[in-house]
């Protein structure tokens, strides 16, 4: 079904029956992607005396507790509350959900210390004259192992601070990446890219979000899309999220 999205003075046509889900499903157990040394997500039936919330174990309904960490157990969207002294939540910050997005593919560059990084020069080449509201970064290589990767203690690729300053000048307000963080796994707590993106604390950009641990399938071409950024209404700095892309006709 073709629908029209009128956005900032322009009319975009999308097929609402052809969504492209770039989130990774949250599953219990070790087959789910994980980062930051957190335990695997648990989904367990509630037990109350002789009653159990599992139909296959004699219960009348399935009634389960879920234990997870939004930053470490899968696709999530976070706000400046992730690094701020003030209590700020994603549910307070993300008030619009449809954006013009650019999907780009980047091969992280190896620097002298052996780290792999995304540089300003790479983003300049990928974006050229484009000024998207949201930027979706797919890194290479892009195997299906990203759907179950255990990232803790692997020093994954990250984004340099200079590249974030470039995105700020471009006007990018929503940054999505298939790595567990835009910052180095162990950077002594500096989180330079996070601080630069949100311009915290001197010019805090409360409306901006970062979404991590996405997965963009290889068959999805680079280019311009409409992004629907969906979250659960958590009053927390981060929430599990479901970013959806729509091809523009």
**pLDDT score recorded for residue 44:** 98
The pair phi, psi for residue 92, each rounded to 5°, is -80, -30
CATH number of 2-25+74-247: 3.50.30.50
Close Cβ partners of 33 (under 8 Å, ≥ 6 residues apart): 24, 73, 74, 146, 147, 148, 149, 150, 151, 180, 213
pLDDT digits (tens, 9 = 90+) for 231-248: 999 999 999 999 999 999
Give the separation between CA 107 and CA 116, rounded to whole angstroms. Answer: 9
**pLDDT score recorded for residue 8:** 82
Domain boundaries in the chain? 2-25+74-247
Going by pLDDT thresholds of 50, 70 and 90, the confidence category of residue 7 is: confident
Going by pLDDT thresholds of 50, 70 and 90, the confidence category of residue 90 is: very high
Give the separation between CA 25 and CA 72, rounded to whole angstroms. Answer: 13
């Amino acid at each position: 079904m073709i629908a029209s999205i009128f956005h900032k003075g322009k009319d975009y046509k999308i097929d609402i029956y052809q969504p492209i889900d770039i989130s990774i499903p949250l599953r219990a157990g070790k087959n789910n992607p994980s980062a930051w040394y957190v335990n695997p997500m648990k989904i367990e039936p509630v037990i109350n005396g002789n009653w159990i919330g599992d139909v296959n174990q004699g219960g009348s309904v399935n009634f389960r507790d879920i234990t997870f960490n939004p930053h470490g157990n899968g696709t999530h969207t976070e706000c400046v509350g992730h690094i701020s002294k003030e209590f700020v939540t994603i549910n307070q910050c993300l008030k619009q959900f449809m954006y013009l997005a650019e999907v780009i593919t980047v091969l992280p560059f190896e620097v002298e210390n052996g780290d792999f990084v995304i540089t300003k020069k790479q983003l300049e080449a990928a974006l050229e004259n484009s000024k998207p509201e949201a930027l979706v970064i797919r890194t290479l290589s892009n195997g299906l192992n990203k759907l179950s990767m255990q990232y803790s203690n692997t020093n994954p690729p990250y984004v340099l601070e200079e590249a974030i300053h470039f995105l700020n000048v471009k006007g990018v307000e929503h940054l999505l990446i298939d790595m567990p963080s835009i910052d180095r796994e162990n950077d002594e707590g500096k989180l330079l890219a996070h601080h630069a993106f949100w311009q915290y604390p001197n010019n805090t950009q409360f409306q901006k979000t970062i979404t991590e641990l996405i997965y963009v399938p290889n068959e999805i071409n680079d280019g311009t899309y409409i992004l629907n950024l969906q979250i659960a209404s958590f009053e927390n700095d981060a929430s599990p999220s479901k970013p959806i892309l729509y091809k523009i006709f």
